[in-house]
Structure 1
């Protein structure tokens, strides 16, 4: 919900170009009284509205950003039960032109993808970075209802239940790099080579953005979607935390970044940024640390015996298991599974106290 201002901005910009198309938003959180979904000028869906099935435990195992990404296929499958064609746009975006090309392409294709790069850059490091993140940028995705699309979404969702993480050694980059496999696995995948289709920090400096009043062009063609992945309004001179470039390096595109920041502030960014994430804490208010998520994940099948991992009141809850003594010894220096889990996650502690449950227990 802290990203609500971003959603308001993208929704408003989308309506300016496609007022006839309904706009849906997936909230992978809980409103908790911070805002009224019914009062927003778009349709707010929650995980309860989707057939997420096995994805529910991911609310506990994944941090906020991973959960947002992991729920994408379930959202798209739900929308394709309602509409014949769907375009998905990530929240940190601004529609600056007509997206009709995608809807048109979906009349004869199942999937529309937009690549990070449209031509080889001079710096090979750029290509290497893209290979790590994924060939296609999933800030934009188009889908048409049909059996092939259903197979694609089912496969993608199955992979994201446990593997929506950034793990360079294993070749994953959240939900995105999986889709590198889609053109080989599935038919009728269209790759949009329009330079204005999906423009972000990865597009510079090759693609030249120009601003003509309210009109934006990219390499002389109409711009359609500007993306602000990794952009921080508190550091407006930086294009993205994923890039070394500053707005001084990107020409007139900096004007679009300035405008985007103004829109975020007007949409309530300063207030919403402090709103809590509902799935960051147990039902008793105790925070869920990253190491706790890791411990739960590592339990594999045993984790199912706890039921809802957020609930703390039951005698067999995960929280009570976490607070129990790791070895049953309740002497002068008890060690809970929680603290022992932190110990195992910290190489410095393991080196300083190699025998935590024995000779180093008192320390």
Structure 2
């Protein structure tokens, strides 16, 4: 049986993907396929002494790739094409495994084949038991972001999985936005719906899969090190998902700030320390590449693309199809300049500065809310909030920026 594993990322996450690749080769003897969402022309000098196979997303022959790259930001784009890439790899493989680039594998991925049975798609939930404390990632969080974490899935090639992948691909083509206020959470939230339509899934509930900050409350205190092997409930850890991680501060576990101090055991801190060492080494070796901007944030002439422009182009593309090269169209650039739809380059701030800035914003918002309620009254304020919710997506304002050739 032929199997393959792949991940998706832009240049900023390539060091993480290379850590995953090394763990994949060590545990599974599989050469990871890294689908890079960048221009080969921009990275023609990319040289890696790596066991991974680097594939450029633009070279898969997807006719709408450049247009989707204009419509979506980097997270939305890389997730939107996951179903399509899975279908592509299924053409020549019996089993296809997907892992996010910030995953590290501790066991043989091919062991997943034993779990399929009559099913054709394997998934893992974010967590297996209800969160009892009042935190952001409780049951309501699952309704916002999705019950299943799509940092991993595995597919057995068959007609059953093909039907699901075709449906998922179609939904993700134009509805892979991160807009939880409208029920969308990139590719991930669609799996909540898929269970109503397809009988092809098996859920892996063991805590050895998908060890991550979002299930810290039920798993972190169970992690043990036995003869150099990470164990949970007597079984070897299969994979950890090191998401929202700052390798300069491994003791923080995640920059989301959602892990309790009592869950930061010696074993947990050791796991994240080891990962930080691996990631720092890769990051240092790739500094000349990772310092470059994401290709599809810019026109070929150098202007940065703003979020509203992406939505304006979505409407144009739905009506007109593949008529223009969106990253090199002078009319689109003039349109963006005329309507002030170009983006601005900003420097990423330190986490402490971000938290301080967020605190100021929240205080200002509270003042605004109090004043608004006094002026319009509580009933009208509720109506006003619903209106602001509707306007919170640039897609609801697409008619304001009506690009036409």
TM bucket normalised to smaller: 0.7 to 0.9
Stretches of structure 2 lacking an aligned partner (at least 5 in a row): 1-10, 345-387, 392-405
Q: Give the 3 Å change call, closer, same or farther, for CA 267–35 of structure 1 in structure 2.
A: farther
SS in 2 for 1:86: strand
Between stretches 290-299 and 175-184, larger displacement belongs to: 290-299
Q: Deviations over 1:43-66 (max 9, x none)?
A: 222224435344541101111121
CA contact (8 A) 1:6 1:264 kept: yes
Shift of 1:120: 2.4
CA contact (8 A) 1:205 1:250 kept: no
Write the mapping of 1:127-206 to structure 2, written as runs, cut at 5 A: 127-206=139-218
Confirm or deny that 1:227 pairs with 2:244.
no
Please name the residue that 2:224 is paired with: 210
CA contact (8 A) 2:250 2:269 kept: no
Instruction: Find the partner of 1:114 among 117, 124, 135.
Output: 124
TM-score (norm 2): 0.74
Q: What do you get for the CA RMSD once the two structures are aligned?
A: 2.7
**Equivalent residue pairs, number:** 328
Shift of 1:234: 3.5
Shift of 1:243: 4.2
Q: Give the 3 Å change call, closer, same or farther, for CA 119–249 of structure 1 in structure 2.
A: closer
Between stretches 216-225 and 286-295, larger displacement belongs to: 286-295
Q: Give the 3 Å change call, closer, same or farther, for CA 264–143 of structure 1 in structure 2.
A: same
Instruction: Find the partner of 1:105 among 105, 112, 115.
Output: 115
Write the mapping of 1:63-78 to structure 2, written as runs, cut at 5 A: 63-78=73-88
Counterpart-to-counterpart distance in 1, 2:157 and 2:341: 49
Shift of 1:36: 2.9
Q: Give the 3 Å change call, closer, same or farther, for CA 50–255 of structure 1 in structure 2.
A: same
Counterpart-to-counterpart distance in 1, 2:117 and 2:61: 26
Confirm or deny that 1:265 pairs with 2:280.
yes
Counterpart-to-counterpart distance in 2, 1:44 and 1:340: 31
Shift of 1:30: 2.0
Confirm or deny that 1:280 pairs with 2:297.
yes
CA contact (8 A) 1:54 1:161 kept: no
SS in 2 for 1:88: strand
Shift of 1:160: 1.1
Instruction: Find the partner of 1:24 among 29, 33, 49.
Output: 33
Please name the residue that 1:80 is paired with: 90
Stretches of structure 1 lacking an aligned partner (at least 5 in a row): 324-335, 348-363
SS in 2 for 1:4: helix
CA contact (8 A) 1:106 1:142 kept: no
TM-score (norm 1): 0.82
Instruction: Find the partner of 2:339 among 337, 340, 349.
Output: 337
Query: Relative to total residues, which structure has the larger helix share, 1 or 2?
Result: 2
Q: Deviations over 1:232-278 (max 9, x none)?
A: 22443322234422676321212111111100111125714422211
Instruction: Find the partner of 1:94 among 83, 89, 104.
Output: 104
CA contact (8 A) 2:251 2:272 kept: no
CA contact (8 A) 1:87 1:142 kept: yes
SS in 2 for 1:204: helix
Counterpart-to-counterpart distance in 1, 2:27 and 2:272: 19
